[in-house]
């Protein structure tokens, strides 16, 4: 079985120096990797990676190679700098001026790209005046590297204003993902971007068109919206628009523009769909075309062709689109479920354009397509290419009960809270759980909502019971979980056990739990660390919808040099009393 220490062999080094505001905080010594000089033997000969041979990657490594268990060695460090700034009057893509937080001056921020097995190094520069930050690399397994997960209050302290922190981690899986701030509601202000890890694929395509970010969009700052969302008189605010690759037309028809993605006639195109919404899940469709799904989250699947795809917040679908219709312009639509339980958008027909080369690049599509009946259910029936098979006799599940509390008075006023097993999570930014572990501390505030999983290399099973009618996209850090099943009502072992799939069920890092329903997941304890499980609706996690799995705690200090987190924590503890907005107004978590 895979041992995290294998992956750790390239990692070593302690943090040096002490942190002073305004100076970089030494965080992690980035390994000096050898340049690619020698060819490292792979598996069976597979030839060159290319349009007719996407199953082959390089060095004879193929799509059949186990990615998580046996990834290729790292050849290269891919280094990036992210500068986060506060904009008080930013003219957004649909023409409305609003407050925002941008990364390297843009929204979405830059795409982080790497090759399978390599090492990613990111210097995060917090140039905000009045917020900390922490950047989470969504969907990256961080095997043996829990301290690089970027979840403030769990795996690190927030990065104080005016300082820089360096993250460094392996990418053992390939495909499409994203990064975003995990500090309060900050990612809803624009602190988000795509990640692409190049590798093999389960079907051929000619052209990779890269990440295609779809997101809900608001005309007010996320910190204000968060306050509205939790008030009994407020409730979740309606989105003003859905943006496609950062673009959208204002609902009035004036202001902004439709995004246009150009397709080459006769060719097949890989498009990496990512839903980076705060609240809204949608069903996407391209008039006149179907989409062949080849990956979900970072899990390759058997190719599966569908007319429309449901994207819950945080989910990714890599699809292949064939430009085999008449040269012209085609609507790409995002449709919300009409009931509103999957979000509400004030723009009734948010859309973008897919435009064949040779078509009039100023014209709008003429065919409006057939109206879609959108649901709020996840896609079903997808089959992972690398199989995981469970033994039904091994099933022994614990329950995670999700409740919405009645409005209650706390230090923020009268608010709604979300609870898992009777606790609305409230993490300590100035004392994250990994720091407790570093100190040998085994007791923490019950509000940390921790479940310990001490056993190594076993499957753990979880029944998530949703006691409220709203569906939620449930996200787990550090693992891809197997989705054994979901349904409505309360999970009952006698009636529902036979509905569970144990033979290579779908595997991913975000799954939709039905309203007033259940979701059964399983994951394998191969990754010591502190891992959040939370709702990916930004408002809900800030209102307490989260818990932490502390996996194999006794091994964490040996695997990670946790003392490297201390300088940043000391800097945060020195800064926090001067922050004008603290004490914090929510759980401290976002996404
Ligand atoms: C791939 O396999 C071929 C045929 O066996 C061999 O010639 C080649 O050296 C291999 N390449 C690598 C990188 O192992
Ligand atoms: C952004 O700028 C405004 C206006 O100066 C200020 O009130 C706010 O605190 C700033 N926010 C952050 C996160 O720096
Ligand atoms: C972050 O800054 C915004 C203003 O830009 C403020 O509203 C919010 O309360 C701050 N949050 C924290 C936790 O400091
Ligand atoms: C994005 O996720 C949100 C929240 O689950 C969901 O309401 C929305 O429909 C998703 N978008 C798409 C394109 O599926
Ligand atoms: C797609 O969006 C366009 C532009 O908003 C709209 O006219 C059309 O009716 C939409 N089609 C579907 C199928 O939603
Ligand atoms: C959560 O909801 C379930 C089902 O309605 C109920 O049995 C349980 O008592 C609730 N827990 C709390 C803390 O309200
Ligand atoms: Cu939720």
CA angle, residues 422, 426, 430, in degrees to nearest 5: 155
Reported as a single tens digit per residue, the pLDDT across 285-333 is 999 999 999 999 999 999 999 999 988 777 889 999 999 999 999 999 9
Reported as a single tens digit per residue, the pLDDT across 85-97 is 999 999 999 889 9
> For residue 115, how far is its CA from the centre of ligand 1 (angstroms)?
20
Whether residue 195 is predicted with pLDDT greater than 50 in this model: the reply is yes
Note the pLDDT of residue 234: 64
| Boundaries of domain holding 303 | 207-356
Residue 139 lies in a domain: yes
Query: Which of 198, 223, 248 delimits the end of a domain?
Result: 198
Q: Which two tokens stand for residue 145?
A: 């590297």
Note the pLDDT of residue 3: 33
Note the pLDDT of residue 546: 94
Which residue would you say has higher pLDDT here, 314 or 546?
Answer: 546
> For residue 370, how far is its CA from the centre of ligand 7 (angstroms)?
30
Statement to judge: residues 316 and 181 lie in one domain: no
Cβ of 86 closer than 6 Å to ligand 1, yes or no, is no
Which residue would you say has higher pLDDT here, 202 or 426?
Answer: 202
Mutate to test the pocket of ligand 2, among 88, 103, 125, 160 (most ligand atoms within 8 A of CB): 88
Q: How confident is the model at residue 24 (pLDDT cuts 50, 70, 90)?
A: very low
Q: How confident is the model at residue 29 (pLDDT cuts 50, 70, 90)?
A: low
Of the bound ligands, which one is closest to the alpha carbon of residue 59?
1
Statement to judge: residues 188 and 243 lie in one domain: no
Q: With H, G, I as helix, E, B as strand and everything else as coil, classify residue 87.
A: strand
Domain count for the chain, please give it.
Answer: 3
In the predicted model, what is the mean pLDDT of residues 118-136? Answer: 95
Residues 145 and 560: beta-carbon distance below 8 Å: yes
Residue 367 lies in a domain: no
> For residue 222, how far is its CA from the centre of ligand 3 (angstroms)?
9
Note the pLDDT of residue 40: 60
Statement to judge: residues 166 and 44 lie in one domain: yes
Q: What is the mean pLDDT of the chain?
A: 87
Statement to judge: residues 228 and 342 lie in one domain: yes
> For residue 373, how far is its CA from the centre of ligand 4 (angstroms)?
14
Q: Cα(489)–Cα(463) distance, rounded to whole angstroms?
A: 12
Among 27-36, 71-80, 187-196, the minimum mean pLDDT is found in 27-36
Which residue would you say has higher pLDDT here, 71 or 15?
Answer: 71
Q: Cα(504)–Cα(521) distance, rounded to whole angstroms?
A: 12
Residue 397 lies in a domain: yes
Whether residue 544 is predicted with pLDDT greater than 50 in this model: the reply is yes
Whether residue 9 is predicted with pLDDT greater than 80 in this model: the reply is no
Q: How confident is the model at residue 2 (pLDDT cuts 50, 70, 90)?
A: very low
Residue 30 lies in a domain: yes
Phi, psi of 4 (to 5 degrees): -55, -25
Statement to judge: residues 433 and 335 lie in one domain: no
Q: Cα(355)–Cα(329) distance, rounded to whole angstroms?
A: 4
Q: Which two tokens stand for residue 91?
A: 């003219």
Residue 195: burial class (beta carbons within 10 Å; 0-12, 13-18, 19+)? buried
Cβ–Cβ contacts within 10 Å for residue 13, how many?
14
Residues 548 and 105: beta-carbon distance below 8 Å: no
Whether residue 198 is predicted with pLDDT greater than 90 in this model: the reply is yes
Which CATH number belongs to the domain containing residue 539 in this structure? 2.60.40.420
Mutate to test the pocket of ligand 4, among 239, 308, 311, 341 (most ligand atoms within 8 A of CB): 311
> For residue 74, how far is its CA from the centre of ligand 1 (angstroms)?
19
Statement to judge: residues 408 and 549 lie in one domain: yes
In the predicted model, what is the mean pLDDT of residues 119-147? Answer: 95
Note the pLDDT of residue 255: 86
Statement to judge: residues 224 and 343 lie in one domain: yes
Statement to judge: residues 32 and 175 lie in one domain: yes
Residue 418 lies in a domain: yes
Using CA positions, which residue lies closest to atom 1 of ligand 3?
131
Residue 155: burial class (beta carbons within 10 Å; 0-12, 13-18, 19+)? buried
Statement to judge: residues 267 and 168 lie in one domain: no
Using CA positions, which residue lies closest to atom 6 of ligand 2?
130
Residue 417 lies in a domain: yes
Answer yes or no: pTM beyond 0.75: yes
């Amino acid at each position: 079985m895979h041992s995290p220490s294998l992956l750790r062999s390239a990692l070593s080094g302690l943090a040096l120096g002490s942190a002073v505001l305004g100076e970089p905080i030494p965080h992690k010594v980035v390994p000096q990797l050898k340049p690619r000089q020698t060819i490292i033997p792979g598996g069976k000969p597979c030839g060159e990676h290319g349009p007719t041979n996407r199953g082959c990657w390089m060095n004879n490594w193929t799509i059949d190679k186990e990615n998580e268990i046996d990834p290729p060695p790292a050849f290269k460090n891919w280094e990036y700098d992210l500068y986060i700034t506060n904009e008080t009057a930013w003219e957004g893509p649909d023409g409305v001026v609003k407050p925002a937080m941008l990364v390297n001056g843009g929204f979405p921020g830059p795409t982080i790209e790497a090759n399978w097995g390599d090492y990613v190094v990111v210097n995060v520069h917090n140039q905000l005046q009045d917020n900390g930050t922490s950047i989470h690399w969504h969907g990256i397994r961080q095997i043996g590297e829990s301290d690089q997960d970027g979840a403030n209050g769990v795996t690190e302290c927030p990065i104080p204003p005016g300082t820089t922190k360096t993250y460094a981690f392996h990418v053992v899986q390939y495909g499409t993902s994203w990064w975003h701030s995990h500090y309060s509601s900050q990612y809803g202000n624009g602190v988000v971007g795509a990640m692409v890890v190049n590798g093999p694929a389960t079907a051929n395509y000619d052209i990779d068109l890269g990440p295609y970010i779809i997101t809900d969009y608001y005309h007010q700052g996320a910190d204000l919206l968060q306050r509205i969302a939790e008030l009994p008189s407020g409730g979740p605010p309606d989105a003003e628009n859905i943006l496609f690759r950062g673009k959208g037309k204002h609902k009035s028809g004036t202001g902004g523009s439709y995004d246009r993605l150009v397709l080459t006639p006769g060719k097949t195109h890989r498009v990496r769909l990512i839903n980076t919404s705060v609240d809204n899940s949608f069903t996407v469709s391209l008039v006149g075309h179907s989409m062949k799904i080849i990956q979900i989250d970072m899990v390759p699947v058997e190719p599966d062709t569908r007319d429309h795809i449901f994207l819950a917040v945080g989910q990714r679908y890599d699809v292949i689109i064939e430009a085999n219709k008449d040269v012209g312009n085609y609507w790409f639509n995002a449709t919300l479920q009409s009931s509103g339980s999957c979000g509400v958008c004030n723009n009734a027909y948010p859309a973008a354009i897919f435009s064949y080369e040779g078509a009039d690049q100023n014209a709008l599509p003429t065919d409006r397509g057939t109206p879609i009946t959108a649901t709020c259910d996840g896609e079903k029936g997808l089959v992972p290419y690398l199989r995981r098979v469970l033994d039904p006799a091994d099933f022994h599940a614990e329950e995670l009960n999700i409740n919405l509390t009645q409005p209650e008075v706390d230090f923020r006023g009268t608010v709604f809270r979300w609870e898992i097993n009777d606790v609305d999570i409230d993490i300590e930014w100035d004392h994250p759980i990994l720091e407790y572990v570093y100190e040998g501390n085994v007791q923490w505030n019950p509000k940390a909502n921790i479940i310990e999983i001490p056993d190594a290399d076993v499957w753990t099973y979880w029944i998530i019971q949703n006691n409220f009618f709203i569906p939620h996209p449930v996200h787990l850090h550090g693992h891809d979980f197997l989705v054994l099943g979901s349904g409505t009502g309360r999970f009952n072992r006698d009636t529902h056990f036979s509905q569970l799939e144990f033979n290579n069920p779908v595997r991913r890092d975000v799954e939709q739990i039905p309203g007033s329903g259940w979701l059964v997941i399983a994951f394998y304890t191969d990754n010591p660390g502190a891992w959040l499980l939370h709702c990916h609706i930004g408002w809900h996690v800030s209102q307490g919808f989260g818990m932490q799995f502390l996996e194999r705690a006794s091994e964490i200090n040996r695997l990670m040099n946790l003392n490297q987190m201390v300088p940043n924590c000391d800097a945060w503890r020195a800064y926090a009393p001067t922050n004008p907005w603290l004490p914090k107004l929510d759980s401290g978590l976002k996404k």
